[in-house]
C-alpha cells in the first residue's frame, strides 16, 4: 500500500511540531496511543547498563549474559536457574516503581480525552501510572502473569507471590513499594529451591511466562476482551478527528501498531498520525500531510507538551 517512506525530521521544525501536536491533542475527538519499547526505555526501564549490572552481575559473570533481553533466551542448565533468572527479570521490569514520570506525564495529556492504548510492552506501566485498564490492550502478554507451557485451558495466573518467594530465596530484600535491594555482605544465589518451581494448578504441567514467544502464547479471556474493546474503539472512531499517537515503536513488529496506524490515517482524511521516536520518526509519503514526526526522547517531548498545555 505504501510506496515510499519519507523521513520528516529537520532540526528547525522541532518546536513547530511540538506546537502542532499540542493543538491536535487539544482538538482531537479521540486519541489512540500505540506504545512500543522506546516508551519504557525513556521511562528508565533499560535492559542493559547499570540496571543490568545491579541485578544480574552474577549471571553475567557465570554465563556471559550481557543484557536482560538476550538473557531471556539463554539455555540455562536447569529449571532452578531458569526461574532464578526470570524471577529477577520479571520483578525489576514489572513490580518495581517506574523510574520516571514519563507514563504519568502521558496520562496527564490524555486523561480527559476519549483514548485507548495499544501496546507491545509487557511491563504493566500503563496501569501502574493510573490509566484505565478497560482502555488498555497488551497484545504481547504481561510480565505479571504465568501460563501453562502448553495450555489446555486458556487461562493465566498472577505471579507476584511466587516471584517474591523466589527472590527472597536468592537473598534479596523487597521494600514495601516493591524496590528490590541486596543486603550488604550477601552473596546472591543463582538458583531457587526446587519446590518453588511453578506448576500449573489446572493441568499439572510446567509453567512459563505469559509472553508471546511461540505458538503456545495464552490469549486468555481478559486478552480476548481487551482485543474486542480495542477493535470496537477503532470502529466507532474511524471517521472522526482521531490522533494516532505512536510512541517508541520500532520495526521489530510493525504489523501490530505502525502499519495499522498508517492505514487508519490514510483511510480517514480527518485523522492525524504522530510519531515520537528517537532516530526513527518517519511516515510514508501517502500520509505526509497528515503526519507529525518528532525526533527526540519521548520523555522530553511529553514534558514540552505539558508546558504547552500549562499543567
pLDDT digits (tens, 9 = 90+) for 196-229: 999 999 999 999 999 999 999 999 999 999 999 9
Q: What is the mean pLDDT of residues 84-92?
A: 98
Asked if residue 110 and residue 93 are part of one domain, the reply reads no
What does the DSSP assignment read for 184-239? TTPPPPSS--GGGS-B-TTT--BEEEEESSSTT----HHHHHHHHHHHHHHHHHTT
- Check whether 231 has a pLDDT greater than 60: yes
Confidence of residue 12 (pLDDT cuts 50, 70, 90): very low
Confidence of residue 279 (pLDDT cuts 50, 70, 90): confident
Asked if residue 168 and residue 26 are part of one domain, the reply reads no
- Going by C-alpha positions, the residue among 176, 163, 198, 145 that lies closest to residue 91 is 163
0.85 exceeded by pTM: yes
What CATH number should be reported for the domain holding residue 123? 3.40.50.1220
Lowest mean pLDDT: which of 18-22, 259-263, 297-301, 304-308?
A: 304-308
Asked if residue 289 and residue 266 are part of one domain, the reply reads yes
- Going by C-alpha positions, the residue among 245, 246, 238 that lies closest to residue 264 is 238
Confidence of residue 11 (pLDDT cuts 50, 70, 90): very low
Counting the structural domains of the chain, the total is 2
- Going by C-alpha positions, the residue among 228, 232, 208 that lies closest to residue 218 is 208
Asked if residue 118 and residue 247 are part of one domain, the reply reads yes
Range of the domain at 50: 46-97+160-197
- Check whether 7 has a pLDDT greater than 80: no
- Check whether 308 has a pLDDT greater than 90: no
Asked if residue 124 and residue 233 are part of one domain, the reply reads yes
Asked if residue 173 and residue 78 are part of one domain, the reply reads yes
pLDDT digits (tens, 9 = 90+) for 164-193: 999 999 999 999 999 999 999 999 999 999
Helices and strands per DSSP (H, E), number in the chain: 11, 13
Q: Is residue 183 part of a domain?
A: yes
Mean pLDDT, the chain, as a whole number? 94
- Check whether 6 has a pLDDT greater than 60: no
Greatest alpha-carbon span in the chain: 63
Asked if residue 270 and residue 237 are part of one domain, the reply reads yes
Asked if residue 291 and residue 252 are part of one domain, the reply reads yes
- The label of the residue with cell 507471590 reads 161
Asked if residue 118 and residue 86 are part of one domain, the reply reads no
Asked if residue 57 and residue 21 are part of one domain, the reply reads no
Asked if residue 305 and residue 184 are part of one domain, the reply reads no
Residue 178 region by backbone torsions, left for phi larger than 0, else alpha for psi between -120 and 50, else beta:
left
Q: Is residue 206 part of a domain?
A: no
Asked if residue 22 and residue 166 are part of one domain, the reply reads no
The three cell numbers of residue 221 are: 479471556
Amino acid at each position: 500500500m505504501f510506496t515510499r517512506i519519507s523521513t520528516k525530521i529537520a532540526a528547525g521544525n522541532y518546536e513547530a511540531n511540538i506546537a502542532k501536536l499540542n493543538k491536535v491533542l487539544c482538538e482531537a475527538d479521540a486519541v489512540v496511543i500505540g506504545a512500543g519499547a522506546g516508551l519504557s526505555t525513556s521511562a528508565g526501564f533499560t535492559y542493559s547498563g547499570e540496571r543490568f549490572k545491579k541485578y544480574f552481575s552474577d549471571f553475567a559473570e557465570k554465563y556471559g549474559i550481557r543484557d536482560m533481553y538476550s538473557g531471556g533466551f539463554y539455555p540455562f542448565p536447569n529449571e532452578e536457574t531458569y526461574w532464578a533468572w526470570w524471577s529477577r527479570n520479571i520483578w525489576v521490569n514489572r513490580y518495581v516503581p517506574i523510574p520516571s514520570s514519563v507514563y504519568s506525564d502521558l496520562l496527564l495529556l490524555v486523561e480527559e480525552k476519549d483514548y485507548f492504548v495499544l501496546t507491545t510492552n509487557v511491563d504493566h506501566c500503563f496501569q501502574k501510572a493510573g490509566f484505565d485498564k478497560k482502555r488498555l490492550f497488551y497484545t504481547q502478554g504481561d510480565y505479571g502473569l504465568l501460563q501453562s507451557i502448553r495450555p489446555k485451558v486458556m487461562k493465566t495466573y498472577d505471579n507476584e507471590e511466587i516471584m517474591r518467594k523466589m527472590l527472597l530465596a536468592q537473598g534479596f530484600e523487597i521494600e514495601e513499594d516493591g524496590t528490590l535491594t541486596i543486603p550488604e555482605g550477601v552473596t546472591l544465589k543463582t538458583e531457587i529451591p526446587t519446590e518453588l518451581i511453578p506448576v500449573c494448578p489446572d493441568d499439572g504441567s510446567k509453567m512459563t511466562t505469559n509472553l508471546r514467544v511461540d505458538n503456545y502464547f495464552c490469549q486468555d479471556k481478559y486478552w480476548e476482551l481487551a482485543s474486542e474493546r480495542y477493535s470496537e474503539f477503532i470502529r466507532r472512531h474511524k471517521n472522526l478527528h482521531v490522533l494516532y499517537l505512536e510512541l517508541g515503536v520500532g520495526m521489530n513488529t510493525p504489523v501490530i501498531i505502525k502499519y495499522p496506524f498508517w492505514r487508519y490515517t490514510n483511510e480517514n482524511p480527518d485523522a492525524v498520525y504522530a510519531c515520537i521516536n528517537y532516530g526513527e520518526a518517519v511516515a510514508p509519503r501517502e500520509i505526509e500531510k497528515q503526519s507529525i514526526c518528532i525526533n527526540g526522547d519521548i520523555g522530553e517531548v511529553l514534558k514540552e507538551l505539558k508546558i504547552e498545555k500549562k499543567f
